Amino acid sequence: MEGEPVRVGMGLAGTLAVIERLLDILATLHGAGVAHGGIEQGSLVRRADGLLLLTDFAPAPAQPTDDLAAVARLTRTLCADPLPPALASLLSRLEASDASARPTAAAAREAIHQQRTHRAAANPGFHLPSAGPQQTPGSRRLVFLGLLAMAAAGWLWWQHHSATQDWSATGLVTHIEGPAPTTVGTACTVEVTSAREGLATCRIEVVCGDVLVFGGGEYGLARCAGQPPRAQDDAFSAEDGDPALELLADQGTLKIWDQRHVEWRVSIDLDVEEGEE
């Protein structure tokens, strides 16, 4: 695989950006019942185009709690700056002797996201990195793609990896953070249509009330799999209509968040039965 392992000795901001994306990947994997089992610096590879890949899955089944402890070790390896107390406390909980007391990958991701947001608010001159710790001209994107490649066990990315069919649902906004383009309690509609454009396999449009929150025009492309679909759009963009998105239709959840400055987040509960086939 072409690319470079993420470098050690990064600043705190760059480390938080990489770890948040890694926890995004793990939250999706763990939600599908898959653990990595061998996370270390060399497991995260950045391609020349900025794509961040998770590689080198362990040949034997592993536990999600093992992945979380490995994330804590990796964070200390990558970061050259002193760790703030809140981050040090989170890493300690990820390594708790009682594995059942460790937070989930999704909860840890939210904690890291909050620390990045609070750090930006407390430091007006600080800007959240949009392309990770190594920004270069022509590379302003930090995108993660969970690449499931277990040579011995033959794990598959997005189980069954079936082609996504057209799908629609309604739902309600249940939680917002920051200056979101909608409000709690607003009714939403979600439309998913099949598409094949590069890595994208579907196009999504989300309308809450009379506001187009995601998609429209040339935007809304995402990676999808399964029916009801799961979808992910992590590509950083400075364009309106193209924020980030995580759709877990089988769990009845949809999250959308602003990519430009990570200023807002919207959570929508969908009117679908969890685990429906």
Question: How many alpha carbons lie under 13 Å from residue 243 in its C-beta half-sphere?
Answer: 22
**CB contact set of 267 (below 8 Å; sequence gap of 6+):** 173, 174, 175, 176, 253, 254, 255
At 23 the pLDDT is: 92
Q: Are strands 51-54 and 143-146 parallel, antiparallel or unpaired?
A: parallel
DSSP assignment of 15-74 equals HHHHHHHHHHHHHHHHHTT------SGGGEEE-TTSEEEE----SS---HHHHHHHHHHH
- Measured at the CA of 43, the angle between CA 149 and CA 1, to 5 degrees, comes to 60
At 177 the pLDDT is: 87
pTM (predicted TM-score):
0.47
Each residue's pLDDT expressed in tens, for the chain with a length of 277 residues: 677 888 888 888 888 888 988 998 899 999 988 999 989 888 888 777 667 788 888 877 789 999 999 999 999 999 998 999 999 999 999 999 998 889 999 999 999 988 887 765 555 443 444 434 443 333 333 333 343 444 333 334 333 444 557 899 999 999 998 888 899 999 999 999 988 766 678 889 999 998 999 887 778 888 888 888 888 887 655 455 678 888 999 889 999 988 655 678 899 999 986 544 4
At 92 the pLDDT is: 94
Which has the closest alpha carbon to 238: 144, 143, 140? 140
At 45 the pLDDT is: 85
At 205 the pLDDT is: 92
Which has the closest alpha carbon to 116: 101, 106, 127? 127
DSSP tag of 219: B
Tell me if 251 sits within 8 A of 257, measured CB to CB.
no
The domain 4-146: what is its CATH number? 1.10.510.10
Q: Where are the domains of the chain?
A: 4-146, 167-270
Dist CA 208 CA 206 (whole Å): 7
Which helix H or strand E contains 103, and what residues bound it?
none
Residue that the structure tokens 């607003």 belong to: 186
At 170 the pLDDT is: 95
